[in-house]
Structure 1
């Protein structure tokens, strides 16, 4: 694999399993960790551009910790990059994920108690106890209705995408606090248990099969150069887009015409998931 986005190798170290890595690089097996902050930018280089984001509790493999930066690879999609080392925490046994658009962890099982953390959809936590309105977790008390056990998945990616309606557009974003087009599709598919890469070009190349032209069905994916949207029904789609600077619902025909008129070209693929 030569795509640097999913290549666990930098100028000093390479993952031990990589074949044909340069001989002068240190070969490392990596150590397990989890994201320990609500949202961490996954950067192309230390202090560099954001490629993607990781949310609390996501598992990662760390290959280098140097100068306050950790070079790592995300378990969810294989994306490699840098995060501040301080944003990581030791591995823990996650039992539940945040299935609501967002939630808070509270200091007690009382919604009037001080909140301790704000968490995005997709965050992973360890439930320690509780059977009432709140579950006690490693971060505090979280409303039980906002959590689902790991391995329990909704069946409708479009319904998951709807949870993000109004979320601000953020290039490279992967959370309820800010998200981009491919981040929205990835969040929707991963929530439903469907593996999904991080960027729209990867998604176009790797997801689904070509669908009949004009036959739009709920859950289909529409691709443009550098953009992706999720079909809600025969007439509408949902996407995170810079036109609205938010996640929005738009008529399919209007979106196709608008995107082409603004110079971003025609639809490049219409894919249907199995």
Structure 2
């Protein structure tokens, strides 16, 4: 028997309220986004410094948010973001994007507080080594990524993550999953991908054969049920860089990924796609 529970009852039961459209921005290095409103719930994504979002629902401890960058939804702790106005949200959504370009870097605010930020952190309203979140000005003198780079740069950025440990829901040099890896690498090169491998597989142009692919194209892999569960970046000479245990380089053939350590195939090839 299937019991249908009204959404209004669920919101009341967990003390959630529909917001009158609130907006927020991440003012911490890395914030976990969870599947459910609980510290014990699995982390499905991360919100990195400077990312802005819409607040869909809110209770005393948790907010359900939708990221502006890729529309991904999940729950974050209310203590781990700062509210912004609708006007600022819209300005951030249309301004030129600037991202931190070093594996790890430091910023200082106008009270000399020090904060670490990871590769790919957003730098809102960046201008001449400074940027702002509401009334707080931050100083940053590190490398900035803010251009659409040629396709070979995708491989160059991918190498920055080599040997980073795998982390479900992760998208930073401290831990990353397969689609977080491809999304972040493409973002640093000025291209937008959706968050999950299955979502990314809905983008781009299908290529019929591996021989048609170029370094920087994406290869997608499915499980026994036919669901796309993995993605990696194609390199030269039938190699692929992907997050599996860690960000690693393996061989790619018509069957899938051939693990150079175990000497076995680890993933079954489903489709190859050209994104840029």
Alignment match, 2:243: 240
- What TM-score results when the alignment is normalised by the length of structure 2? 0.74
- How far the C-alpha of 1:124 sits from its partner, in A, is 1.6
Alignment match, 2:183: 186
Alpha carbons of structure 1 residues 191 and 249: separation in structure 2 relative to 1, 3 Å: same
How far apart are the structure 2 equivalents of 1:30 and 1:127?
Answer: 22
Alignment match, 1:119: 117
In structure 2, stretches of 5+ residues that fail to align are 1-7, 223-228
Alignment match, 1:20: none
How far apart are the structure 2 equivalents of 1:129 and 1:199?
Answer: 32
Alignment match, 1:39: 30
1:219 matched to 2:216: yes
Alpha carbons of structure 1 residues 165 and 106: separation in structure 2 relative to 1, 3 Å: farther
- Tell me if structure 2 keeps the 8 A contact 1:104–1:115: no
Alpha carbons of structure 1 residues 143 and 27: separation in structure 2 relative to 1, 3 Å: closer
Residue 206 of structure 2 is aligned with which of 206, 209, 221?
A: 209
Q: Select between 260-269 and 163-172 the one with higher mean Cα deviation.
A: 260-269
SS of match in other structure, 1:82: strand
Q: Number of paired residues?
A: 240
1:231 matched to 2:234: yes
- What TM-score results when the alignment is normalised by the length of structure 1? 0.75
SS of match in other structure, 1:247: strand
In structure 1, stretches of 5+ residues that fail to align are 1-8, 14-24, 109-113
Q: Which aligned pairs between 1:57-136 and structure 2 lie closer than 5 A? A: 57-91=50-84, 96-106=98-108, 116-126=114-124, 135-136=129-130
Cα deviation code 1:55-94 (max 9, x no counterpart): 0110100012202101110111111110001111133676
